[in-house]
Amino acid sequence: MKTSEHSKISILAMNLAETINSNTTDRRSTSYQPRPLHTIYLKIVNLKTPQDQKDVEQAGISVKGVISVNANIQTHHATFYCTSNDLKKKIIHALRVKGFQIQDDTNDK
């Protein structure tokens, strides 16, 4: 092996060892911030049974941009966690298609 090749390998090996032993972290991994989720609250008049609860949750999740849904039978409320705040009309439409009645949505028809 030539001296210049040996020097290059030595430098690369030292750089690798230094990187492995360094306490610094990749700034991209420590500064990652997930996108904030928006919440949409709806009162569903005919949310009464555990099956209704499952159907509301499935209908909500079927809307693109809805990440999670929590439907409460006792309060007849559902909370939709979304990537965008403008999904209310789409969510209401998906629920109506499944036969659910949404209270106080006169502005969202």
Residue 75 has pLDDT above 90, yes or no: yes
Given the candidates 3.20.20.100, 3.40.640.10, 3.30.70.100, 3.20.20.105, the CATH classification of the domain at 38-104 is 3.30.70.100
Total-model pTM: 0.66
Residue burial 1-29, b: 16+ Cβ < 10 Å; e: rest: eeeeeeeeeeeeeeeeeeeeeeeeeeeee
State pLDDT tens for residues 83-99: 998 999 999 999 999 99
Residue 56 has pLDDT above 80, yes or no: yes
Residue 43 has pLDDT above 80, yes or no: yes
Rounded CA-CA distance 58/79 in Å is 13
